[in-house]
């Protein structure tokens, strides 16, 4: 083997050693840059090889958010391919998901994330006043963030959905299917079950507020109870039908 090849291999090994032993705080700057400040890593400890911290999901104004405990460990086998691939454990989940980092790209595979319903208020501030309740489960089949673009698909389910302002509880179970085509993330909402029927379509592009148009339908026996709540966020079309529009 030539000296040039040996020198190149040595430099590659040295560079990788510097990368994986770098402080975990470097991940925060990477997340902030890729998410335009919406995702941050606080209280980071350890190194890029293995560490822990609090991942924060912040509102559009970056002044409020929610946090989840996170820990990670590097998969050494991928270093031979000059890739950083991590097993990531979120809160007390028994199984990890994978995150692969390259120079200007981040890939997430097979992630299950539990969130409080208050997380909807982070995406749309007007929803925060409704004091939403219930369990939200986000399943990310695959997601790629690269230079301001988003590709992949995910499913979000809101179970036992409700509001502190609503006399009817729960309002129902709902599912939002998400698809990223590069320039935008598009979503389709449907009702799984419940007295409040919701459906609609929406989209979100990096650097812009989410947009959504949909319809809420209330059966006659619940119209008197739910109409005051829905009038806070929707246009009353009469007969228990309301138009939802957010942008």
Q: What is the pLDDT of residues 44-99, one digit of tens each?
A: 888 878 889 888 887 666 666 788 898 989 888 877 777 788 999 988 777 899 98
**pLDDT reported for residue 163:** 94
- φ, ψ for residue 62 (rounded to 5)? 65, 10
**pLDDT reported for residue 8:** 44
The overall average pLDDT reported for the chain is 84
List, for residues 117-142, the tens digit of each pLDDT value.
Answer: 988 887 777 788 889 999 999 999 99
Q: Over range 201-215, report the average pLDDT.
A: 86
Q: Over range 107-124, report the average pLDDT.
A: 87
Residue 58 structure tokens: 């912040």
| Reported confidence tier of residue 21, pLDDT bands at 50, 70, 90 | low
Cut 0.85: pTM above it: no
Give residue for tokens 């335009």.
36
Q: Are the CB atoms for 90 and 99 separated by under 8 Å? A: no
Is the pLDDT reported for residue 7 higher than 70? no
Is the pLDDT reported for residue 25 higher than 50? yes
**pLDDT reported for residue 39:** 80
**pLDDT reported for residue 62:** 61
Share of residues in the chain with pLDDT > 90 (%): 44
| Reported confidence tier of residue 222, pLDDT bands at 50, 70, 90 | very high
Is the pLDDT reported for residue 204 higher than 80? yes
Is the pLDDT reported for residue 9 higher than 60? no
Q: Are the CB atoms for 120 and 131 separated by under 8 Å? A: no
Q: Are the CB atoms for 147 and 164 separated by under 8 Å? A: no
The CA distance from 107 to 117, in Å, is 25
**pLDDT reported for residue 22:** 63
**pLDDT reported for residue 89:** 92
Name which residue leads in pLDDT, 31 or 225: 225
List, for residues 147-170, the tens digit of each pLDDT value.
Answer: 778 899 999 999 999 999 999 989
């Amino acid at each position: 083997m030539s000296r040039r090849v040996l020198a190149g291999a040595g430099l590659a090994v040295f560079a990788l050693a510097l990368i994986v032993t770098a402080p975990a705080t470097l991940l925060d700057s990477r997340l902030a840059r890729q998410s335009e400040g919406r995702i941050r890593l606080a209280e980071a400890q350890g190194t890029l090889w293995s560490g822990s911290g609090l991942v924060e999901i912040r509102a559009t104004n970056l002044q409020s958010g929610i946090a989840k405990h996170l820990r990670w460990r590097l998969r050494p086998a991928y270093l031979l391919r000059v890739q950083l691939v991590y097993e990531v454990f979120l809160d007390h989940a028994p199984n990890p998901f994978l995150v692969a980092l390259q120079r200007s790209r981040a890939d997430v595979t097979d992630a299950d994330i539990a969130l409080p319903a208050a997380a909807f208020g982070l995406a749309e501030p007007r929803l925060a006043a409704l004091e939403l309740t219930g369990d939200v489960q986000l399943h990310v089949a695959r997601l790629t963030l690269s230079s301001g673009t988003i590709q992949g698909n995910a499913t979000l389910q809101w179970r036992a959905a409700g509001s502190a302002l609503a006399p009817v509880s729960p309002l129902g179970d709902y599912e939002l299917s998400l698809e990223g085509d590069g320039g935008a993330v598009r979503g389709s909402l449907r009702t799984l079950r419940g007295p409040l029927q919701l459906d609609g379509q929406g989209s979100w592009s990096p650097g812009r507020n989410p947009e959504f148009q949909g319809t809420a339908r209330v059966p006659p026996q619940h119209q008197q109870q739910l109409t005051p709540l829905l009038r806070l966020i929707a246009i009353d079309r009469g007969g228990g039908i309301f138009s939802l529009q957010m942008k």
